[in-house]
Structure 1
């Protein structure tokens, strides 16, 4: 997940640069940049979490951020800032990360619950 979230952030930074330079789009691009790069940062923070609860909290933030990124990507696609091919590829990467984060959170929460019994 660490590698995938970093690669996703790189794609988002490059998309941000493209949207600003070629499409003259600044507001939506900045929103996407913030949440799209935050995912990898939260995954990295979770790597050295102080506790299982802290790990869950950081991964939950990453999950929220990737879901927000999905929103901005969908909006950019719906307003023709992204081609259907660009939107499809980015959408696939975003959903893959969302599924990975959701699965990780379910496992971590189940582990926390079983530990506290």
Structure 2
């Protein structure tokens, strides 16, 4: 998936999270959980924008790991809202599916970039020229 497409998907996801938060009951528990959900759910896209500005492969992988964590945390808060009977499962099923897709995309990308980093290390270590000191 292209970088811009994923940015757009994550932005739409953030808006959907915002809409869900506004629909939640006005109880103390829902208020606390909604703040956690809003923070994590919107951080996915914000952190992915940071990934797109990574300075190195290692930086890219580290920033992607943050996106993965935020997506996974978002799934947790969504599941908790359902478990606490604050929202029906039907209402959030597609949000959980989308967040799981973000986790899968980031995990696959992290794996690929780490393999690339390792290959680069091996290639660089094999190409060193040793000059004996006389």
Determine if the TM-score, normalized by the shorter chain, exceeds 0.5.
Answer: yes
Q: For the residues of structure 1 that align with 2:20 and 2:78, how far apart are their CA atoms?
A: 10
Q: Structure 1, residues 53-84: CA drift from partner, whole Å, max 9, x if none?
A: 11111100010111111100000011111112
| Superposed displacement of residue 94, structure 1 | 1.2
Among 12, 29, 34, the alignment partner of 1:7 is 12
RMSD: 1.0
Would the aligned equivalents of 1:5 and 1:39 in 2 still touch at CA under 8 Å? Answer: yes
Q: Structure 1: which 4+ aligned runs deviate by more than 3 Å? A: none
Would the aligned equivalents of 1:39 and 1:62 in 2 still touch at CA under 8 Å? Answer: yes
In structure 1, stretches of 5+ residues that fail to align are none
Q: For the residues of structure 2 that align with 1:69 and 1:81, how far apart are their CA atoms?
A: 15
Structure 1 counterpart SS, 2:20: helix
In structure 2, stretches of 5+ residues that fail to align are 1-5, 123-134
Q: For the residues of structure 2 that align with 1:13 and 1:113, how far apart are their CA atoms?
A: 39
Q: For the residues of structure 1 that align with 2:10 and 2:117, how far apart are their CA atoms?
A: 24
Among 101, 114, 122, the alignment partner of 1:109 is 114
TM-score (norm 1): 0.92
- State the partner residue of 1:16: 21
TM-score (norm 2): 0.81
Count of aligned residue pairs for this structure pair: 114
Structure 2 counterpart SS, 1:116: helix
